[in-house]
Each structure stands twice: as C-alpha cells, then as structure tokens.
A and B are shown apart, each in its own frame.
Chain A
C-alpha cells in the first residue's frame, strides 16, 4: 500500500530535521573557519522551527501511519519538544568549549542533529524495526561524537568502550526482538500486544522479556550493566557527556515505554520484578560508589545510574500514575544533568577541564551567582525541596506506594539519603573551602545566560510543578 500524501504531513518534523542536517553538512563545506558559527546558528534555528512544527501538528489524538511503523501521539510530541529543548542547551553550552579547543566544526552539529533525529524516530516508533533503527541512528552518531576529539587518548578509549558495549547491547535487544517476532508473528507494537494478550507467560516469553530488559538496561546504564557509563562520561568531551546524559535519556525512556509497556504489557508482573532488581541495584551501587569519586564527571555518572534506578521505579509500577511520574522524572532529570555538566563547561577553559571536585573549591568567592546556580542543581539532584528534584522523587515514590510496594519505596528513600551526602559535599566545597584558583570566570554571555536560565527553570519548576505534572498525566490519560 503506497503511503497517502496525508501521512507524510505527520512526518514533517523528521523530514525537516533531516533536510536541515543535510543542508548544514553541504553548506559547511563552503564556509571558512571564521564563518563556522553560521552552521551553529542554523542548527539552533532548525531546533526552534522543528519545535513549532511539532507543537502545531499535535492535535492530542493518536495517529498511526506508514503501515503502523510510525506513531504520532501526545507522549511523542511532549517528549520530542523536551528533546529539542535539551539538545538546544547542549549545542549552546558546546559552542565556546569546542571553539577554544579547535574542535568547532560543522560536523559536530550535523552529528548532533542526526543523533536527535534518531531520538525522534525512537520516540515515534511503533514497530520493532523503527525502534531498532532509531536506536542505531542515535548510537552511531553518539559514538562519533564521543570520539570527536580524536587526538585525545581518553576520548578514543571511551568511544571504543561505548562502541563495543553498545554493539553487545544491540545484539541482546535484537535477539529478544527476534524471539518476540517469532512468538507474535508481527513487528507492529499493537499487533504484538494483541497476539500476546491472552497467553499465559511461557518459558520462551520469559526469555524474550529477559533479553529485551537486558538490552534496555545496557542502553540505560542500569546496574549490573552500567560498566561503560563512568568511563564514557569521563572520557568524552564535556558537551558530548552532557548530550548523552540528558537528551538521550528521554529517548531511552520512550524506548522502554514502547517496548515494555505497550508491546509486552501483559507480562508486567515478570518485567516489573526484573526492573525492581535493576532499580534496587542501581540505587545502591550508584549512590554508594559516587561517594568515593574525586572526579566530578565520574560522580555525575554514578549519580545518573542512581537516577536511572528511580526512573525504573516509576516504570515498574505498571500504572498510568507510575508512567506519568517516570516521564516527569526523566524530563526534569535531563534538565538537571544539562545544567550540572554545563557548570563544568562554564568553569573550564582551554587546557583546563575543571572536572575534578576540587576545581569547584571556593566557587562562592570567585562568583557567588554561579555558586548559587550549582547549589540549586545539586539540591535538585539530591531531592531537596523546593527544587523540582524533590517533586520528581515524590511522584515516583507515590506511584510505587500506590501499587503496595512499600519496601521498594523505603529502599529508594534510604539510598537517596546516602546519595544526598555527595551532592551536599559539592555545596560544602563551593561555599566553605578556600579557593585555590582565583581566576575570575571568563565565560561568554550566551553560556552564562543559558546556564542561569537552566538552573532557575529547575527552581521554578520546583515551585510550580503543576503544569508539567498535569501534562505528563494527560499524556497517559488520567
């Protein structure tokens, strides 16, 4: 069946991003090095336009087009717009960082746009085929971005580790998908759900679920499949780390939702238990090991692992309330992570990465405004009210208690309290330690502005969480 012209209308955001990425790729060839900033601005402008297009096309209904391989629903629209926002932040923070290190090239933004296109495909995927292809498009662009500073040894090492483990995870996921196809006879998410709906969980179905959960856990970085996270976060250039740690988590959430909740939702008791094990381990290992870190990027990597634990808690509850809480959590976490890595970029300069915790000593004496911004970000990650991190954790815990898993909520709270130690240690280092480095912060206006807006948004969302929360609830129909 040839797709009707009307079906392409829903695809306009993807087509637009692809066209802009190709346009920038070709245009960049004709730019001299001092005009390279045009590529950057074009990338930013296309992010703005695609947000407008996505919002204009969203009518609150669910549309299935292209033989059921593409879905346009409110969840996809909401997640896509948050991905654009976080990607725009990642591009904004990267500009001067890359420029000062001689890495400011058009390919960085082209690869970034392609990675974002992969995320959009994942968010809107309604078939095992499109989920996998979107994931590969995202991963392939990210591998190249991690290795972007190709002459630096840590970068290439991180890229190699990311590539090998990413390939292994894809293999696991594909194996699970192939069994799912064999058992249900379809690649379409909805048809799989229908085919498996009435069946009792049999051994092949459990194996299928196991492989899919393991593949997803690898991609999310949940314990015990987290080994790559600290190395990749530390080795990659900071803007790339920020991009991986923020925007791609939103896409990963969408992938988990489409694969687990929408296709094998009938097996929720089985994958719920698997996710519970992953969540508890992630919370424990993530929070405890983060205490021992002296490198801030590594510490934030372990903090990501613990946040992934919280995200899984929301999903494993299997209720609409839990999904909404997990969506709220992942969007706000992406903003927090963007801000925290942005602070490292702000403090760094050519030849100095500022990624050790000791580099933040006495930040209050050097610049009290940005010390305060970092304080907001750290408090939000720790879950201190009135920042948004508190509401995100609260919503997830409510969802977990809502399905009578009190012990799980207790474990989550226990490890959050342990985790609060290393976030508050950052605050102590900034406010009570003597500065070793008196260089005033020499950051450009756009970076300062973006970072301040980012951190203040965390505070503002914490004071008024209602609108985002109601949007997340609306997406899941309650």
Chain B
C-alpha cells in the first residue's frame, strides 16, 4: 500500500467515525465538536485531491467561523433532549428501510460501468507552482459569473426573510439615547435635601429585653 493510500484510508476512517458520532452522541456540544473533526478530516482528503484552496476554505470558514458560532448557539439554547429523542424508535424502521434502499441504489450506481476507473479520465498531476486558487477565481468570475451572482441574491433573500420574520418593534423595549444622556445635569439626577441631624438611638433601648 502506498503512503498516499494509507493517508487516505486513515483520514477516511476518522471521517466516517466522526460523522457517525455527530448523530449518535447525546450531548449536542460533543456532536458539534465531532462535526469539527469531520470537517478537518474531509479537508485533509481534499488536500490529497490537490484542492488546497477548498481545503483551507473549509477549515477557515466552517471550522473557524460557522462551527464556533454553532457551538455558541448550542451552549446558549436550552435544548430538551428527551423531547427531541421522542419517536426515534417509532421512526427507526422506516428510516432504516429508506437508508437501506438508498445504500443499494448508491452501490448499484457507483459500481456500474459508467463510474469505474476505466471510463473515467485519469487525473492529471500538477506541478508545484500550479495555483488552484487562481484557476478557481478564473472560472468563478468569468464563466460562472451568472450562477455566482444568483447565489449572492439567494443570500440577500435569506437575510431579508430572517429579518422580516423575526424583527419585532415592541413598545415596551427600553433603549438608550446617548444625546439625552450627555445633556443630563446634576439637578436632574440628585436632589439635595437639607435635614436636621437626628439623635442616634440609644444602643440599649428596645433591644433584648
């Protein structure tokens, strides 16, 4: 077995393990951390495919930004695990049936002649100075500029939809007005009252009779 194959199978095994743990662990924080591990190992597999830019983006964007945010959300939300697991056993047979069907179909498709090694072009090895990033940028902003722009419009719609569905203007919400705060004078906040000094009570009066 070549070194490359060894690296592939090691990372692939870790990836499958991590992905399985994501849906089987009880603690949502552990699930999120396993997802991070899955992202890392798939990034390593992409590196093997000479897709360095995508591998680095996966780590930077998904591990660095998305999953960290996700972890915060999971920690802040009070998720009731018992109610989430309700009905799991009831739907398990249906789920397993569908999964088995999909698995058989995938095996049939992937093992068919159309996808075997002979009918696929052999991947070309690139030289060390070959820039993956440049190639991607080249097609993204020229050949695929139209789909790229539509994808950005989809993100705009996601923002609009999220705000339209969640923003509430409430009358009772309390806000600060810095301009008013700066203009405040001592007289508005403190009232000085002149009072005659009182006689301190005698320490022994009324106590512990």
Spell out A's residues near B (CB within 8 Å): 1-3, 11, 18, 22, 25, 66-67, 69-70, 105, 107, 110-111, 114, 117, 121, 127, 129-130, 133-134, 136-137, 140-141, 143-144, 147-148, 150, 179, 182-183, 202-205, 207
Contact = CB atoms under 8 A, between A and B. Distances in A.
A133 B149 CA distance: 10
B153 A144 contact: no
B193 interface: no
Contact of B164 (A111, A140, A202, A205): A111
A134 B115 CA distance: 29
Contacts of B109: 179, 203-204, 207
B164 A114 contact: no
B147 interface: yes
Interface string B131-152: 0000000000011111100110
Nearest to A129: B147
Given A111-B157, A150-B165, A202-B114, A137 B150 contact: yes
- Interface secondary structure of A, over-half rule: helix
A202 B161 CA distance: 43
Given A203-B109, A203-B112, A1 B160 contact: no
Contact of A18 (B143, B144, B153): B153
Nearest to A133: B150
Interface in B4-45: none
A436 to B, nearest CB: 36
Given A183-B114, A203-B108, A130 B150 contact: yes
Q: Interface residue tally of chain B, by bracket? A: 20 to 34
B165 to A, nearest CB: 5
A110 B160 contact: yes
18 contacts: A2-B142, A66-B143, A67-B146, A69-B144, A107-B163, A107-B164, A110-B160, A111-B157, A127-B147, A140-B154, A140-B161, A150-B165, A182-B114, A182-B115, A202-B112, A202-B113, A203-B108, A205-B114
B150 A121 contact: yes
Contacts of A133: 147, 150-151, 154
A105 B164 contact: yes
Nearest to A65: B146
A279 B145 CA distance: 38
A141 B158 CA distance: 8
B134 to A, nearest CB: 15
A129 B160 contact: no
Given A67-B144, A69-B144, A204 B157 contact: no
Nearest to B154: A137
A147 B158 CA distance: 13
B161 A144 contact: yes
B128 to A, nearest CB: 27
B105 A114 contact: no
Contacts of B108: 203-204, 207
